[in-house]
Structure 1
């Protein structure tokens, strides 16, 4: 199991409930596939450096989780089919996590 970080850029037009539903679905994918969500860091609404889908603002959320490597492909597949997520990037943060760190 390794530590990963996924940064999401969500549509600024979503209400708080809609954003929470999307995040609940993504964290559900992580836990269902055998991972552990370490942190959901809500960065909020920010100005973008350049327009994305004709929008100049976006809502940023950062997910940190510990998971097996194949989980990332399933999570990114779910992100791609979810409407309202404009961009995302996933980065591996560290090497193998110890079993006692995950529990």
Structure 2
């Protein structure tokens, strides 16, 4: 089992219910194929750096999960079939990235913060 981080950019015309349904669809897909969800972080509606399919905003969602190495190809096929997905990116996380993300979620200082002078 490898650790991955998935960033999904969805079309901005989705309702809140549709967005939650899309999240559930893909988290269930990960679990059904032998993976486990570590963390789900919906970022919400953000501006895009450049237009995608004539859209200047999109809904962002970040998912951290563990899955077998052959799983990502199945997931990629599902994303390419879905009209709601504008872009996606899967990143392999090493043990240091997993530890960093866990510390960040708990609010533990990671050493990258700048000192604030009083």
Q: Distance in 2 between matches of 1:67 and 1:84?
A: 23
Partner of 1:72: 72
Higher relative contact order (CA 8 A, sep 6+): 1
Residue equivalent to 1:6:
6
Q: Under a length normalisation based on structure 1, what TM-score does the superposition of the two structures give?
A: 0.88
> Residue 8 of structure 2: SS of its match in structure 1?
strand
Unaligned runs of 5+ in 2: 99-118
Cα displacement (A) at 1:80: 1.1
CA distance in 1, matches of 2:58, 2:17: 16
What residue in structure 2 maps to residue 100 of structure 1? none
Distance of 2:37 and 2:75 partners within structure 1? 12
Tell me the residue number matched to 1:34: 34
**Following TM superposition, where does structure 1 have runs of at least 4 consecutive aligned residues deviating by more than 6 angstroms?**
none
Structure with higher Rg: it is 2
Shift of 1:22: 1.1
Within-5 A mapping of 1:14-93: 14-93=14-93
What 5-or-longer segments of structure 1 have no aligned partner? 98-103
**How far did residue 58 of structure 1 move?**
0.7
| Aligned residues between the structures | 96
By how many angstroms is 1:28 displaced? 1.0
Structure with a larger share of its residues in strand = 1
- RMSD of the alignment, in Å? 1.3
